Amino acid sequence: MFFRFFILFVLFGLTHMSCVPKVDTFSGTICLELEHHGIPHFGATVYRNYGDDFPGYHQDMNLFYDTTAETGLRSSVCFDKLGVGGHWFAAEGFDESIQDSVRGSLFIELGTSTPSVDTVIKVSEQH
C-alpha cells in the first residue's frame, strides 16, 4: 500500500513540475565607444571585471580582469551575456598623434531595468 502511494506521489510530482514556467536567465549587454579628447580612439584593449571594486592597472591586466576585447579598426567594443551587478571596464591603448599611451576606466551597474548600456569611455594620457 505504501509503495503504491509513493509511486502515485512521484508521478503526480513529475507531471506538475512540467507546468512550472521557465525563467530566462538575465543577459545584459554593454557597448563602449572609446574617445580621446572627444576623438574616437582606435586600436585599444578593453578589459572587463565583474564586481564593485576597481581592479586597477597592472602590467598583466589579464590576471585581474574577467574578459578582454580589442577595438581593432573600430573605436567601439561590446560585451554581452553579462549578469546583473557592477562591471568595471579599463581601456588601454596608444595614441599615434601624440606618441603616448592612453587609458581610462568606467564603472557600470547592470540591472533588470537596464539590460543594455551604450556609452563612452574616455581615455587620456597619464600625467
> What pLDDT, in 10s, does the model give residues 20-78?
444 446 789 999 999 999 999 999 999 999 999 999 999 999 999 999 999 988 899 99
Look at the block and give the residue holding cell 549578469. 83
Q: Give the DSSP H or E segment for 2.
A: helix 2-17
Distance of CA 62 to the CA centre of its chain: 15
* Global pTM value: 0.77
The domains located in the chain, with CATH, are 24-125 (2.60.40.10)
